[in-house]
Amino acid sequence: QVRLAESGGGLVQVGGSLTLSCANSGRIFSGNMAWFRQAPGKEREFVAALTWSGTCTYYGDSVKGRFTMSGDSAKNTVYLQVNNLKPEDTAVYYCALGFGDYSLSNPDHYNFWGQGTQVTVSS
């Protein structure tokens, strides 16, 4: 009942920026939204979360001050502005929607996931 589709990834130089988008084309719209990322051979890492009200935003320690998450309820879309990119930011970025009892930084909180969009940061 939820269809999440990420877009906006690509190849960028160190220090560059991208805007990632995640559109929900399904029928369920309530719940918290988040961005996670996963590099090859590594576990999924929390990036950012936004409560459904849009009033509370949380960020992982590795991206604080560089990434900004926002939402547009009219478009059923959330965004992730990624700035000052570093090589270690290279990963597949996933958006998620959930309403579980786990913390917002825990992937188990989320019930639905998109297919991901690749971000590659090169020198």
Using the predicted structure, report yes or no on whether residue 1 has a pLDDT greater than 90. Answer: no
Q: How do residues 81-93 score in pLDDT, each as one tens digit?
A: 999 999 999 999 9
105 CB neighbour count, 10 Å cutoff? 17
What three-state secondary structure class fits 25?
A: coil
Q: Which of 38, 36, 56 is nearest to 48 (CA)?
A: 36
Alpha-carbon gap, residue 122 to 106, rounded angstroms: 29
Using the predicted structure, report yes or no on whether residue 120 has a pLDDT greater than 80. Answer: yes
- Yes or no: say if 16 and 123 are a contact pair by the CB < 8 Å rule: no
pLDDT for residue 27: 78
Q: How do residues 24-65 score in pLDDT, each as one tens digit?
A: 998 777 889 999 999 999 999 999 999 987 789 999 999 999
